[in-house]
Amino acid sequence: MGLQQTMRALSDPTRREILRLLRRGSLAFGDIAAHFDMSPPAVSKHLGILRDADLIRDARAGRRIIYEINASVLDEVLLWIKQLREETP
């Protein structure tokens, strides 16, 4: 995924909070939505943006959708930032 799409996804505080929640482990949609004072469709939109940026993955478990963080994309962003810092005089 492109760095621009990743950075745009990370720019929103709600999406950053979702990533913090998933840092502890996989969660079902309802467990994620319970942490926010917004409608389920709004939470779903945030999850979709994170998924489109490849920052999270989802899988069906029966009728539930389980989300997990995709740390490899975050590793790529951190590597890019590290390289940028090393190039700065």
pLDDT tens per residue, range 19-78: 999 999 999 999 999 999 999 999 999 999 999 999 999 999 899 999 999 988 888 888
Q: How many domains does the chain have?
A: 1
Please report which confidence band the pLDDT of residue 88 belongs to, taking 50, 70 and 90 as the band edges: low
Which residue would you say has higher pLDDT here, 84 or 12?
12
| Helix or strand (DSSP H, E) at 45 | helix 40-52
**1 has a pLDDT exceeding 60:** no
Segments forming the whole domain that contains residue 52? 3-87
Q: What is the DSSP letter of 63?
A: T
d(CA 80, CA 6): 12
pTM of structure: 0.86
* Nearest alpha carbon to residue 11 among 44, 55, 42: 55
How many helices (H) and strands (E) the chain has is answered by 5, 3
pLDDT at residue 89, rounded to an integer: 63
- Read off the CATH number of the domain in which 35 is found: 1.10.10.10
